[in-house]
Structure 1
Amino acid sequence: MYGSTTRKALLAVCLVLLAPSTAAHVRHNSAAVRPFQVDLSAGLPHMHSLLRQSKLPGEEEYPGVGDTAGIDLGVLRSLRGQWLNDFDWLREEAEMNSFRHYTTEIEGLTVHFIHERSSDPDAIPIILNHGWPGSFLEFTPIIKNLTSTAVTSKGKPISFDVVVPSLPGFAFSSKPPVNWTVEDTARIQHTLMNDVLGYRQFAVHGTDWGCAPSYTLYANYSDATRAAHLTFLPFLLYSSAQLVTANITLDSALEQEEQRRTEQWSSTGNAYYLLQLTKPNTIGLALYDNPLGQLSWIGEKFITWSDPHSFFLTYNEILRSTTLYYLTRSFVSSIYIYFQNPNGFRSQYTKPATDAPLPFSAFRYNIAVWPEALVAKVGNLVSYRNHDSGGHFAGLDNPADLVADLREIREYWNGTA
């Protein structure tokens, strides 16, 4: 419809209109924090060139396999076509830049984060920690709702000051040294909240690998971390036999279905986990400059780990997440989180010395669900909600229930915002 020059000019205007003012009041050490804008468009021509040159086999190869052997060939072909012909990264950048992005230096690492504040002076500060193959994009659909004032199920007013960091090695945060652990990430996030942003007490949320630094903050920094909401646990799963031995009964049909799904993932869905845990360079270097390969590797996870009935998690969401990984050159460093944390998921269930509340949310189509009795072993479990919809990326495929559950933190909050 427009020529490329006119189109870029229009999008540049959109970026200016959507970008938050750097003069907006933000409570932080201004000398240590720099406003940041997403601008990766320079890498698009190379990415598009590689995509156009990439080849896929014909449908006659292994016909009828569908998604039983990994990502469906027809789905990958469709995603590739949409990526080349319809996907608009500049529009996505404009949407990302509607949030306030910042970077700061902590322990020699650049830490990227979104920081959106509520207008309510009693808002609860909260960190939202993503996992792999996620990013800060997992939470952009819920940030504005969380900063808006609402009420809990019992009528208490609630809003949040929201901080969404990119984990080290992901997106715009520095690639950490090879010996970096999730405990190190928790430490620098404590510094970010306390020393950089000035929040002496805060809440945390974590999913996938993000649950590990969130839980470490909960367990090891209890004076500051006054609530932790999780959808994933940094503890190894129980098999059905182990549940029986532990005298844990799954009473509902939903719980039994979730356990079957958990065991199916443990037996046939976690080969990627073992590879990234032991040989991250093998897959990482193979796909480093291969956008179609990254789309296949990442896209399969989004498709199979999500609620198949969700209207929210679309092909566009898969494409913008994969594009972010590719253009930030963070695919290799992101999967190093597995290699760096061989014991990141603990075998011994222990309860830390904190009275801070630990609400937990389960989602039907998540790849793994921990029964209520197991979650109660690792913290002060005050609420366990099991949802009939949503999956591994709840911020994308069931944002309404995730927001409602996070708001319930107010019911148990005994910190000072």
Structure 2
Amino acid sequence: MSIENFNIKVSDEVLEDLKYRLDHARFPEQLEGLHWERGTDIDYLKSLVSYWRYEFDWRAQEEELNRFSHFHCEVDGIDIHFIHERGKGPNPIPIILTHGWPDSFLRYKKLIPMLTDPASHGGDPEDSFDVIIPSLPGFGFSSKPLHSGMNNCEVSELFAKLMTEKLGYSRFAAAGGDVGSGVTRYLAFNHPELLIAIHLTDIGIIKDLISSRNEEKLSQEELNYKKNASSWISNEGAYMSIQSTKPQTLACGLSDSPVGLAAWIIEKFRAWSHCEGDLSKSFSKDELLTNIMIYWVTNTIGSSANIYYENVHSLSPLGPIEVPTGLALFPVDILLPPREWAEKNLNITKWTTVARGGHFTAMEEPELLAKELREFFKAYRNKK
């Protein structure tokens, strides 16, 4: 399959079915005096669902998304959806940006013009990028894997082939967060010859520190991380436990209920962002619902959850990464990594603590992330 143009066009039948389901939603009761302590606040959820039903305009969002250049391309039996926007500077470098869960390619929407056309956004045209943003297999408008084994490493192999065999780039940059951080690191580990440099906004949950029994060999920072990570997993990691053990059971409920799907996703956007408990400080309702809609109209909440199962059950361990790596930490992101561990396991050439922002970096603070990416990759532009 060659590269084909793609436009997002959801059928009227899917939208009518959604309206029916929203009209007939059944909400659970909530104990008096509780809000978000035991999960998604029902009063907030009801207000969001009301906005979804009566004010949200999917067709307007669809039109906005279709202003970008979307494509489909088959790689090893997976039909990958991706955005490909060419840089407007004299010497753009290609960069593949990989999203995570429960976001989507929408994560990088605001970032695209800042990277492709930096001159129009307070930057230097010499710092432009060709931007490639794929949807992970099983997410959004990419096809769903038919067999088990599609973990971060396997995704990285697909993306390496997309960039080289399909798009013709001999070398490129890569960046990502959440699942996208893992995919980016496997790209760098398995194909250092293809990568100019990589940039991360997190390095995931560091399992070898959490499971370490030789605490006397850990630094104080690493010990603090182990303690904080164990506490976080106990209190906030239920989603991860179910998605890595019984994702199919979860999918039955969330694939059938748009309200359930919204509750599952928005709880994470509130907990992991720098919104200080008020989602409206970091995201508009249109942003939240457009992201939820990408999951709903493609029926991919189940297939997206599967990557957690695959990463637990079939993912080979990573070794040290030699590719130059930039790490930008946003202050309220999940489990900020110990610098000592990061520098032992990655070739950190730039370490930045960003002033504000959380886990959904490019959605929350696109200007800060764009500036960071332009500054970091400036040193590697002559190596493409």
Q: TM-score, normalised by structure 1?
A: 0.83
Q: CA deviation at 1:234?
A: 4.5
Question: Partner residue of 2:232?
Answer: 265
Given that 2:198 and 2:324 are in contact with CA atoms closer than 8 Å, whether structure 1 keeps it comes out as: yes
3-state SS, counterpart of residue 126 of structure 1: strand
Given that 1:234 and 1:345 are in contact with CA atoms closer than 8 Å, whether structure 2 keeps it comes out as: no
Q: CA deviation at 1:267?
A: 2.1
Given that 1:248 and 1:373 are in contact with CA atoms closer than 8 Å, whether structure 2 keeps it comes out as: no
Aligned positions, number: 376
Change (3 A) 1:47 1:159: same
Aligned partner of 2:18 among 41, 44, 47: 47
Question: Partner residue of 2:46?
Answer: 77
Question: How far apart are the structure 2 equivalents of 1:303 and 1:312?
Answer: 9
3-state SS, counterpart of residue 358 of structure 1: strand
Given that 1:156 and 1:411 are in contact with CA atoms closer than 8 Å, whether structure 2 keeps it comes out as: no
Q: CA deviation at 1:73?
A: 1.1
Question: Partner residue of 2:78?
Answer: 109
3-state SS, counterpart of residue 34 of structure 2: coil
Change (3 A) 1:412 1:50: same
Query: 1:84-120: CA deviations, max 9, x gaps?
Result: 1111101100110010000011111101000001122
- Residue identity over aligned pairs, in percent, reads 33
3-state SS, counterpart of residue 408 of structure 1: helix
Question: Partner residue of 2:244?
Answer: 277
Q: CA deviation at 1:393?
A: 0.3
Q: Which amino acid aligns with 2:232?
A: W
Given that 2:98 and 2:181 are in contact with CA atoms closer than 8 Å, whether structure 1 keeps it comes out as: yes
Q: CA deviation at 1:235?
A: 5.1
Residue 174 in 1 paired to residue 143 in 2?
Answer: yes
- The runs of 5 or more residues in structure 1 that have no matched partner are 1-30, 251-255
3-state SS, counterpart of residue 298 of structure 1: helix
Question: How far apart are the structure 1 equivalents of 2:17 and 2:9?
Answer: 15
Given that 1:117 and 1:162 are in contact with CA atoms closer than 8 Å, whether structure 2 keeps it comes out as: yes
3-state SS, counterpart of residue 198 of structure 2: strand
Given that 1:112 and 1:166 are in contact with CA atoms closer than 8 Å, whether structure 2 keeps it comes out as: yes
Question: Partner residue of 2:327?
Answer: 360
Query: 1:228-268: CA deviations, max 9, x gaps?
Result: 10112145254699887422449xxxxx8x99875542220
Aligned partner of 2:180 among 210, 214, 219: 210
Q: Which amino acid aligns with 2:218?
A: A
Q: CA deviation at 1:129?
A: 0.3
- The runs of 5 or more residues in structure 2 that have no matched partner are none
Residue 370 in 1 paired to residue 316 in 2?
Answer: no
Matches for 1:15-414 after TM superposition, within 5 Å: 32-42=2-12, 43-57=14-28, 61-150=30-119, 157-176=126-145, 177-234=147-204, 236=206, 238=209, 245-249=217-221, 262=229, 264-308=231-275, 311-342=281-312, 350-352=319-321, 354=322, 356-413=323-380
Q: Which amino acid aligns with 1:135?
A: S
Q: Which amino acid aligns with 1:45?
A: E
Given that 2:275 and 2:282 are in contact with CA atoms closer than 8 Å, whether structure 1 keeps it comes out as: no
Q: CA deviation at 1:372?
A: 1.7
Q: Which has the higher helix share?
A: 2
Query: 1:299-330: CA deviations, max 9, x gaps?
Result: 11111111115744222211111111000111
Question: How far apart are the structure 1 equivalents of 2:227 and 2:68?
Answer: 39
Change (3 A) 1:156 1:49: closer
Question: How far apart are the structure 1 equivalents of 2:313 and 2:329?
Answer: 23
RMSD (CA atoms): 2.7
Change (3 A) 1:314 1:57: same
